[in-house]
Structure 1
């Protein structure tokens, strides 16, 4: 049998089946926290991903490392031995690869429209980590920035990416409905933008449009102040204190939501971490 070797950059090398340091680091995180959820927050991977990686690690090492319980992961005797054996290596690697004092985290540029960006900011601590181990640059706008030209590393889109070189991850569906403050007049607020919801208001509400704005966020503020009805994504309107539904979901505006990145970028540790955390928050 060939010697099993460990790769520090995540790739398996040598022997009959390499074990990556990334998987061993994930093992140590689970051992520290006694479960997948807290370890997922530390590593930036999702809990299901960590569970699959640990099964693969046990198969590769031919050892049972965990006793899987309803409320956590306990180490077997072999798991405890592996944890102890790896502790010194973990400390040495942390010292050798850690950033120098004062080094800034590399930013991950994320582009989204107004409503998705507003929801994204509510999940910011989950995405950047606590304390932050990820720096994000939020690029809000209704015009789509180009992922192929690297104008952004991650983008939210309303359809599956079809361009060569792009990868997509499907998120939750998005629904739209009219919202208004209690007692608001039967008038409509229209956003002057080239978006499906703006076109719907223009085409269906006509003479009942009371006010126009070129900024979606102002439409929300106007609705909160009782100026009329605004068509909003339900993930915004349902969470807005002071608004209530003023009609049923508008079926023709419903669409899927996709998280899109470039194939080459999604292998970068900071991009992969951001993708996993956003998918956990929006999946």
Structure 2
């Protein structure tokens, strides 16, 4: 592989090490995925820089930041990595999906939707290794934190492809044994929701819909919020999460029902990957089906309580 910053790289393993450190921005962050210790990675990077006769990283206690020449090498290396992956797919047998795929997602989707969907896809493709990266923030695809991501709003920048997966509904919910409030202006139980200054997407800011000024019980995790509601308070919950907490019930449905959407975001270059395109189609279809199934289960339970 020729490098325009000066020098020639002949060993693909050097590129693999370089890309991992560049994406993790640290030796310790890259070490687990490469199954090497940070000291070994440091020596490998130093030898690579020596052979190329140029610094690829600025090292500091905060981590490894790419130099201008390092950024040029990363662009070339990423293209070479994608080309190798495509070549491997083209030469492989016509069979089920295989290899490792990592999906990034907000923790509501990651906890209540993706486990069932991924289990189903993997059962049909035994050679496939699926990883769910659950983060209370936007997944950084440009740094290859994941191969693709489910988001709650479409990104407005970057070389990405975006497709809408499905809408989903949210409702106000509390324990079934708590008194039902008379209206949104009569919410006597403590409000459960996101930590206001840690809301990473505008679609997750529900305070305006509630006319509330504060959140007495807050977390940056949807799963933690659900656990809080199982003990006390009232808050906005995904309808698809309610079947996992049968002691909760929706309230004030005539006053407050929210609709949001899930979007599937991928690297633009990955459109040429038949493997990732096949997986993305299966993932989107699975998420749509699972959201519909769980929301129908939530609706059935609500009707049963009313009729009972």
TM-score range, shorter chain: 0.5 to 0.7
How many residues are treated as equivalent by the alignment? 181
Counterparts of 1:57-206 in structure 2 under 5 Å?
97=92, 105-118=98-111, 119-130=113-124, 132-163=126-157, 165-184=159-178, 186-192=189-195, 193-194=198-199, 195-196=201-202, 199-201=205-207, 204-206=211-213
The superposition leaves residues 125-178 of structure 1 with CA deviations (integer Å, 9 ceiling, x where unpaired) of 222233523211211112112223322211112334443532122111122211
2: distance between equivalents of 1:255 and 1:127?
A: 25
Structure 1 residue 196: deviation in Å?
4.4
Contact 1:179 1:243 (8 Å CA) reproduced: yes
Distance 1:205 1:238, change over 3 A: farther
2: distance between equivalents of 1:205 and 1:184?
A: 20
Query: TM-score under structure 1 normalisation?
Result: 0.54
Distance 1:145 1:244, change over 3 A: same
2: distance between equivalents of 1:167 and 1:230?
A: 33
1: distance between equivalents of 2:156 and 2:224?
A: 33
Within the candidate set 278, 288, 298, 1:273 is matched to: 278
Structure 1 residue 210: deviation in Å?
4.3
1: distance between equivalents of 2:178 and 2:233?
A: 5
Contact 2:118 2:283 (8 Å CA) reproduced: no
Counterparts of 1:14-53 in structure 2 under 5 Å?
none
Contact 2:152 2:203 (8 Å CA) reproduced: no
2: distance between equivalents of 1:199 and 1:211?
A: 15
Q: CA RMSD in A?
A: 3.1
1: distance between equivalents of 2:248 and 2:273?
A: 41
Unaligned runs of 5+ in 1: 1-95, 99-104
Distance 1:201 1:282, change over 3 A: same
1:205 aligned counterpart, secondary structure? coil
2:277 aligned counterpart, secondary structure? helix
Distance 1:204 1:110, change over 3 A: same
Unaligned runs of 5+ in 2: 1-90, 180-188, 289-308
